[in-house]
Structure 1
């Protein structure tokens, strides 16, 4: 049995130079829900014993084992939670949603707690065991795994107490639209660490494509550099970044401004078509990484995916700008662009981007407000894409695709 090495901070540490987000587009919601959409939602409570939960985790409770590599808790925090269960101390409730199409439950809140229970009480090849450490009250259990505690006559009572402890769960039923679950998810996380909707998307749309997005982004040093992460992100911001890049490469012409639905649809289509289109999705991922490398070549690693602003001394805003990420990935992954072209023109590409930020009001506005609209999305790609065309003499297919998008986009 592999044992977790979980020394370190209370939660996963990102790189010291991680940048805050300048734009938070998807988690703002799209304002399409009404009172009628939510008034039929039903809630009911269930108290399951830990033993019952252990039997369900990974089966009817849909938790992808790949979630573990994005573990947010270290062994000390896991141990405190297990100690609370053993002693019957209050613990937060788990929030689930009934899946309308299967007999499984979607975990809306409490995934880390469920994973911790499983890793401790019923570890296997997917849920790896850990030893208790730094307990406040049950110091005699420090350094022990569950099977050791259970087999010892001196400590077996605590193993039994753990298994029999009831855990309150709230189940959401009759939720109708997936937008309802996103709204519940957002409200659960108000006032706490903001979580990416990507974690919920992974639960709503399980499949080989979704798993591949998770694993590929977790293993991509380029995506983590772009997002200023030290390792795979437990908030799944790296996974969402890869997904949106692939979605725009796949179907930018069909983007209608509802980013959440656009990304959901990409997951649905990707899962459905994985067997026949796997290689194409992998090419999109490779193109994403290549575009990140080319952006680094142009701007230097410190100034990638930032907005440039005027002032006494013009400078790059020290906040990650996902709109800049989108346009660089699209333009620099256009099939007509090569490494040698970027290397030959990197200074002029940088200069033209800065000029657009400072002199083109429509372009600069598309990087800082209403960035989800089809017109803003198309406009920033077209503006920078045409600058690249003028410098190189190329005709970029991505510019034509963005022009198709803007031709069908509403004027407002």
Structure 2
């Protein structure tokens, strides 16, 4: 047997699956009985509008098959939804049984007209919500429609569902990389997810990143927090060899989230101190280019990797009340474009995989006291 054959056989033993069709009515019963976990926190990340939701209901009413739903069986038997979260929450919202992350019942979905069923405009599930509702016949037909369930059994390796979620929501996904990471983190360690969001909204952190509304909507500010935590202390050997930086950050996030010794309080304070000092020293110019005696342009990721991560690496040596420390940061910032090595390893043509092995040690050295 070849090495590849052995690897395939070994990995297949870690994944135990099953599949069978189930009526929407049966899935509804699972949800109301507490046997289906759909992660309502994800609603802040997925961005379906009323038209998309109505088109899903239209598809079910017309008998159009839906893509498979993936669930992972927990030790207690509860099914954890891995893929199909938005579709299921839309169905439950239409029926008026959907609850948010605090367990509060949410207002029922009001449908809009669709291409094939314009009469859906203003329709509700039942007359419990509004007289403009589906007939009893359509309600029965709706609940009898079958969906295809793929089940990852509890005997599978514990990381299988996270790997599956990441793959299903990365290929061709409308979510940004960080939105996918946020969903993963909610599943792995919700406390850390909440903590990351608090750090991303820190006033000093926000002040030094002049991001666009689109970047914030796609959770880029949260990604920058994660980049800081993942890279400021990382051994340089780990970022050599042409790594994919997006995959590396996701891997580091999963390592940190699973590490019981990771001190969120201490690491959070290091981030806050780093950006308090940066905000005092440079403000919104912290990660901009200094040319011709002034700061120009937008946020530069390369400059962040030198100054932000370099200061973070050395932050225990810095004092917020020592003026010479602020001068040091300004000098590094203003002289950065005069550094041939920085110029050679930054800019639009420098990929993170080739840039980081040079940029990270440069920043650590430049910002050392």
Match of 2:41 among 60, 66, 91: 66
Deviations 1:369-396 (A, max 9, x none): 5359xxx45x52331233344xxxxx2x
| Matches of 2:121 and 2:149, distance apart in 1 | 29
Aligned residue pairs, count: 335
| Matches of 2:145 and 2:113, distance apart in 1 | 21
What does residue 178 of structure 1 align with?
A: 159
1:107-146 equivalences in 2 (<5 Å): 107-121=81-95, 122-126=97-101, 128-129=106-107, 130-146=109-125
Task: Name the TM-score, length of structure 1 as normaliser.
Answer: 0.63
* Alignment partner of 1:370 is 2:353: yes
What does residue 222 of structure 1 align with?
A: 206
* Alignment partner of 1:47 is 2:26: no
Secondary structure, in 3 states, of the residue corresponding to 1:370? Answer: helix
- Mind listing any 5+ residue stretches in structure 2 that lack a counterpart? 1-5, 240-247
Match of 1:87 among 47, 62, 69: 62
| Matches of 1:286 and 1:264, distance apart in 2 | 22
| Matches of 2:274 and 2:123, distance apart in 1 | 44
Aligned residues of 1:94 and 1:170 also touching (Cα < 8 A): yes
Does 215-224 or 102-111 show the bigger shift? 215-224
| Matches of 1:45 and 1:169, distance apart in 2 | 6
* Alignment partner of 1:165 is 2:145: yes
Is the alpha carbon distance of 1:295 and 1:148 closer, same or farther for their aligned partners in structure 2, counting shifts above 3 Å? farther
1:180 to partner: Cα distance: 8.1
Task: Name the TM-score, length of structure 2 as normaliser.
Answer: 0.69
What does residue 5 of structure 1 align with?
A: none
| Matches of 1:195 and 1:223, distance apart in 2 | 23
* Alignment partner of 1:267 is 2:247: no
| Matches of 1:246 and 1:285, distance apart in 2 | 8
1:195 to partner: Cα distance: 4.6
Is the alpha carbon distance of 1:151 and 1:387 closer, same or farther for their aligned partners in structure 2, counting shifts above 3 Å? closer
Deviations 1:136-172 (A, max 9, x none): 3443442344344777496233333333322212223
Secondary structure, in 3 states, of the residue corresponding to 2:361? Answer: helix
Aligned residues of 1:132 and 1:143 also touching (Cα < 8 A): yes
Between Structure 1 and Structure 2, whose CA radius of gyration is higher?
A: 2
1:232-251 equivalences in 2 (<5 Å): 233=217, 236-248=219-231
Aligned residues of 1:182 and 1:200 also touching (Cα < 8 A): no
Match of 2:171 among 172, 190, 200: 190
| Matches of 1:55 and 1:212, distance apart in 2 | 34
| Matches of 1:380 and 1:361, distance apart in 2 | 10
Is the alpha carbon distance of 1:88 and 1:218 closer, same or farther for their aligned partners in structure 2, counting shifts above 3 Å? farther
Aligned residues of 1:47 and 1:168 also touching (Cα < 8 A): yes
1:205 to partner: Cα distance: 1.0
Secondary structure, in 3 states, of the residue corresponding to 1:128? Answer: coil
Aligned-residue RMSD, C-alpha: 4.5
1:267 to partner: Cα distance: 0.9
Aligned residues of 2:281 and 2:330 also touching (Cα < 8 A): no
Aligned residues of 1:218 and 1:232 also touching (Cα < 8 A): no
Secondary structure, in 3 states, of the residue corresponding to 2:147? Answer: strand
What does residue 15 of structure 1 align with?
A: none
* Alignment partner of 1:352 is 2:335: yes
Secondary structure, in 3 states, of the residue corresponding to 2:224? Answer: helix
| Matches of 2:265 and 2:327, distance apart in 1 | 30
What does residue 184 of structure 2 align with?
A: 201
Is the alpha carbon distance of 1:318 and 1:92 closer, same or farther for their aligned partners in structure 2, counting shifts above 3 Å? farther
1:73 to partner: Cα distance: 0.8
What does residue 283 of structure 1 align with?
A: 269
1:77 to partner: Cα distance: 1.0
Deviations 1:61-120 (A, max 9, x none): 443332222231111111111222233223222223344x55344443322212222332
Is the alpha carbon distance of 1:371 and 1:147 closer, same or farther for their aligned partners in structure 2, counting shifts above 3 Å? farther
| Matches of 1:214 and 1:46, distance apart in 2 | 38
| Matches of 1:224 and 1:170, distance apart in 2 | 45
Aligned residues of 2:16 and 2:156 also touching (Cα < 8 A): yes
